[in-house]
Structure 1
Amino acid sequence: MTIANYNEDELNEVARKLISNFGHIKVWCFEAEMGAGKTTLTKKICTELGVEDEMSSPTFSIINEYQTGNGTDIYHFDFYRLKDMEEAIDIGVEDYLFSGNLCLLEWPAIIEPLLPDEYLQISIKLVGDKTRSLTAQPNERIV
């Protein structure tokens, strides 16, 4: 699925489309350059799923946990600061990834070998100052 040339005012609709099309997939990987809107989009996704907590980037904490109105947990990771995969293993990332709860991963390349067989790859590209283009592609590893 591709969503071309959207702006910040359209993010709620982008989030709804992603949830509608891929809500059954529990691990979502966000790839984009710094400042392209990964955290902003993850906040909109959480809001659309009923999170009322204050949300922030997990850049320094590595993981933020949110709860929806019906008590479901959502885990939001930012792996930008990790030096290697061992750091992710040390914080128990595999427990989160296989919990059955939605996991939203920013900068996931460092933990790619730990990803489940099925995950959603979301790529965000800067198109202009205030516009983005997004591609979402389910990935399934063949074992």
Structure 2
Amino acid sequence: MNIVFSLDQIKEVAEQILAQNPKKIILFNGEMGVGKTTLIKQLCKSLGVQDATSSPTFSLVNEYYTSNNQIVYHFDFYRLNKETEALDMGVDDYLYSGNWCFIEWSEKIASLLPEETSIINIELLADGKRSLELI
């Protein structure tokens, strides 16, 4: 799936992504400020998360519950220095839980990721729109 969108279309984009039946582990790639966290927040809402969502930059992971008791994990590994830090926090338990895992800066834990993932690449275009590719 390839799409170009503006941020006011984020709800529709999230619904289109979920309609593609992606793997439950989704890796979000893109430069800082491109809108990865904004998209993840909308994906959480589209899945039925009613609590406030925020970036787990300092906590590394936030846990949310949907209205039908599914669990959504949102990871931000930007501040991670070594993969062992992710192992120390029990990242394997999260990744193999069968729950949604939305991961920013996944390249920091590349060797720990399961083979079965979906990837979202986001790029900021010159006109302020975003280009998104779901693999």
TM-score range, shorter chain: over 0.9
User: Bigger CA drift: 122-131 or 103-112?
Assistant: 122-131
Q: Does 1:127 align with 2:125?
A: yes
Q: How many equivalent residue pairs?
A: 135
| Partner residue, 2:54 | 56
Separation in 2 of the partners of 1:14 and 1:58?
A: 22
| Partner residue, 2:18 | 19
C-alpha displacement of 1:129 = 5.2
Q: Secondary structure at the match of 1:19?
A: helix
Separation in 2 of the partners of 1:125 and 1:62?
A: 23
Task: For 1:15, give the aligned amino acid.
Answer: A
| Partner residue, 1:140 | none
C-alpha displacement of 1:26 = 1.1
Q: Following superposition of structure 1 onto structure 2, how do residues 43-82 of structure 1 map, counting pairs within 5 Å? A: 43-82=41-80
TM-score (norm 2): 0.97
Separation in 1 of the partners of 2:128 and 2:102?
A: 23
Runs (4+) off by over 2 Å? none
Task: For 1:92, give the aligned amino acid.
Answer: G
CA RMSD between the two structures: 0.9
Structure 2 residues not aligned, in runs of 5+: none
| Partner residue, 2:3 | 3
Task: For 1:55, give the aligned amino acid.
Answer: T
C-alpha displacement of 1:22 = 2.6
| Partner residue, 1:141 | none
Separation in 2 of the partners of 1:87 and 1:36?
A: 26
Q: More strand per residue: 1 or 2?
A: 1
The equivalent position to 1:35 in structure 2, one of 29, 33, 36, is 33
Separation in 2 of the partners of 1:49 and 1:129?
A: 30
Structure 1 residues not aligned, in runs of 5+: 138-143
| Partner residue, 1:92 | 90
